[in-house]
Amino acid sequence: MRRELQYTRVKLDRADGLRRADSEIQKHWRSAQCKLVPLYNNRSLFDSAFNPLFPGAVELAAFEFRTESKSFLGLEGDVPYFSVRCTEDDASKLCEHYAQAEFHDLRAAGATLDPDAASILAYARGLNHWQSINVYCSRCGGPNTVVSAGHAMRCQQCQSQVFPRTDPAVIMLVEHADTKGDEKCLLGRSPAWPEGCYSTLAGFVETGESLEAAVIREVYEESGIVVQNPVYVSSQPWPFPQSIMLGYFATAVSSTIVLDQQELANADWFSAEEIAHFGEWADDSDGLKLPRKDSIARFLIDSWVAKQQQTQT
C-alpha cells in the first residue's frame, strides 16, 4: 500500500550552511517574505477552520511582536521560515490579530492538514521542545544559549554543545496465521488510552540494540509473543515529544498472549474483516477504535488490511 506518511514532507531547504552565518540569518529574518511558525506551550496557531497560520514577520512587527526565541527552519525558494516561541503576551496578540485564531496541539488536526504544512509544524514543534528541555548544561549545570540559528545549544560556562535529539522507537504490525489458516494481526491497548482504542505495539530502542532486536524484544516483553523476520516498512518523525518511529512487519511464531499489564491493558488477534468494523480514535461509539490517521500505526494497519483484501480477491 503506497501512501505518504503525515509529517514526512518537509520540502524546505534546511540550508545548514546558513545556520552559523548570523548576518545572513538576520537578513532572512528581516525579509518581507519571511514566514513565522508560532508556538505557544508547544501548540501551533490555527484559524477557526483549523487551517494553520504562518504570519509574516513584517506583518507582526507593527504591534511589537516579541518572542522568547526564534529558530531558522529553512527556505522554500526565496521564502525563509522561522519558528518562534511566543510569550503569553505574543500569543494573546496573535489570537486577537487573527479573528478567532487559537493555539492547539498539532495532533488535534494533524490527520486533516495539508502534508507540507503539517510537516513544517511538526519540524518546528520538535525543535522547540528540544530547546525547552535543554535550558541547562547536562555536564556542568550552567545555562545554555541557543546558537546555530536554533539548531544547537552552547553552555555559557564550559562551552560544551548539544544538538537536537531524536529518540528512535520501533513500531510493529505482528501477523500470524491461526489454526484454520486465517491471517490475523496483533493489536493492543495501553492503559492510558480511551476504552476501546487499539493500536500496533511499539517501544523505544535501547542502548546497544539493533532495530530488529528491539522489535523482537518489545513484542515479547509486552505480549509474550515470539516473533521473527522483522521487515522494515517506513519511518515517521513523531515530535510528541521527540521520537522517530521506525515501522516494521514481523511474523509471530507463537500465538498465546501473556500481557505485561503495566504496558498493555489488553491485546488480541484481529482479522482484516474485524478491523474493517473498527471506529475512529476520536469518535463517540462504544466499539473498538483504530489509531489516529496521521500515525504510522494506522499506516501499518491499513497496509496490512489492504494486503489481506488483495489476497482474498
Banded pLDDT at 179 (limits 50, 70, 90): confident
**Residue 137 · residue 152 · CB < 8 Å:** no
Note whether residue 2 is domain-resident.
no
**Band of residue 178 on the pLDDT scale cut at 50, 70, 90:** confident
284: confidence class by pLDDT, cuts 50, 70, 90:
confident
User: Each residue of 31-41: pLDDT tens digit?
Assistant: 999 999 999 99
| Judgement on whether residues 120 and 193 belong to the same structural domain of the protein | no
- Return the residue matching grid coordinates 482484516: 272
Q: How confident is the model at residue 55 (pLDDT cuts 50, 70, 90)?
A: very high
Considering only residues 246 and 4, tell me which one the structure prediction assigns the higher pLDDT.
246
Q: What CATH number is attached to the domain comprising 293?
A: 3.90.79.10
Integer CA distances (angstroms), 25 to 82, 184, 243, 290, in order = 10, 53, 28, 43
Helices (H), the chain: 22-29, 57-61, 88-97, 115-132, 211-223, 272-275, 296-312
275 within 8 A of 290, measured Cβ to Cβ? yes
Q: Do 39 and 128 meet the contact criterion of CB atoms below 8 Å apart?
A: yes
Which residue has 490527520 as its cell numbers? Answer: 111
Domain identity same for 156 and 226: no
CA gap 80, 58 in Å, rounded: 12
Residue 68: pLDDT band (50, 70, 90) is low
- Same-domain check for residues 233 and 304: yes
Domain housing 251? 167-312
Distance between CA atoms of residues 155 and 135, nearest Å: 9
Cell of 145: 544559549
Question: Quick one: 248 and 286 in the same domain?
Answer: yes
Question: Considering the domain boundaries, does residue 307 fall inside one?
Answer: yes
Residues 140 and 188 in one domain: no
> Which of residues 145, 165, 185 is at a domain's end?
165
Same domain flag for 187 and 286: yes
Residues 194, 76 within the same domain? no
Total structural domains in the chain?
Answer: 3
The pTM is what? Answer: 0.93
* C-beta of residue 131 within 8 angstroms of C-beta of residue 150: yes
| Residue 56 DSSP label | B
Residue 10 located in a structural domain:
no
Strands 167-177 and 243-252: parallel
pLDDT at 1 over 70: no
**DSSP character at residue 181:** S
Q: What is the CATH number of the domain that holds 74?
A: 3.90.79
- Amino acid making up residue 169: A
Task: Kindly give the pairing relationship between strand 43-46 and strand 102-104.
Answer: antiparallel
Between 65 and 119, the more confident residue is: 119
pLDDT digits over 99-144, tens only?
889 999 999 888 999 999 999 999 999 999 999 999 999 999 999 9
Q: State the average pLDDT for the chain.
A: 94
Question: Pick from 69, 79, 73: which is nearest to 34 by CA?
Answer: 79
Please report, as a single letter, which amino acid is at residue 22.
Answer: D
